[in-house]
Structure 1
Amino acid sequence: MSRIYGTTEPVPAATRRPVYSPLEVYWEAFQEWRKRARLRRQLCQLSDSELIDIGITRGEIDYVASHPSIDPTGCRSR
């Protein structure tokens, strides 16, 4: 007979589970690439004044799409 001395806390569904297969790693990389391509396409469709409103220029679109965690206003020199 076994006894359980501690309780396990439920894990939130949103937590990422560890990746075990190379196929999953490639799939996640592909999904990230698609997300960056979609962002780049959406930013390219904006007018120059709309881009200035959000704080970037047309020349910074590739940089912003490739580095989503970086603030685009920090890369502009004034």
Structure 2
Amino acid sequence: MTTAFNAFESRRTIVAVRLGFAVLAHCRDAFCEWRIREKLRTRLDGLSERELLDFGIGRGEIDYVSSNRASDPRGAVLPS
């Protein structure tokens, strides 16, 4: 009985496994970003109108600010 080793099939399997891990890592990163946005939205919702005005945002801008953390709601782009 002889065992034939096919290097091409082995490489395809390795690539498929790496792709699977990459997809899982992407899903994990997306979930972590979503949790950060939700925590920020919750904390901003807990502030009073006066405290929000101190930051320069209104109650209606909370969703925008929490979803676009790299940009300023007044139009100025913040450094990353």
Shared fold (TM-score, shorter chain, > 0.5): yes
| Counterpart for residue 27 of structure 1 | 28
Distance in 1 (alpha carbons) for counterparts of 2:75 and 2:52:
15
Report the secondary structure of 1:74's partner residue: coil
Residue 38 of structure 1 and its aligned partner are, at CA, apart by 0.2
**TM-score of the aligned structures, taking structure 1 as reference length:** 0.67
| Structure 2 runs not aligned, ≥5 long | 1-20
C-alpha RMSD over aligned residues:
1.4
| Structure 1 runs not aligned, ≥5 long | 1-19
| Counterpart for residue 42 of structure 1 | 43
Runs of 4+ in structure 1 off by over 4 angstroms are none
CA shift digits 1:25-49 (9 cap, x unpaired): 0000000000000000000000000
Distance in 1 (alpha carbons) for counterparts of 2:66 and 2:24:
24
Q: Which has the larger radius of gyration?
A: 2
Residue 21 of structure 1 and its aligned partner are, at CA, apart by 1.5
Residue 73 of structure 1 and its aligned partner are, at CA, apart by 2.8
Report the secondary structure of 2:43's partner residue: helix
Aligned length: 56
**TM-score of the aligned structures, taking structure 2 as reference length:** 0.66
Residues 1-78 of structure 1: pairs in structure 2 closer than 5 A: 21-74=22-75
Identity of aligned residues (%): 50
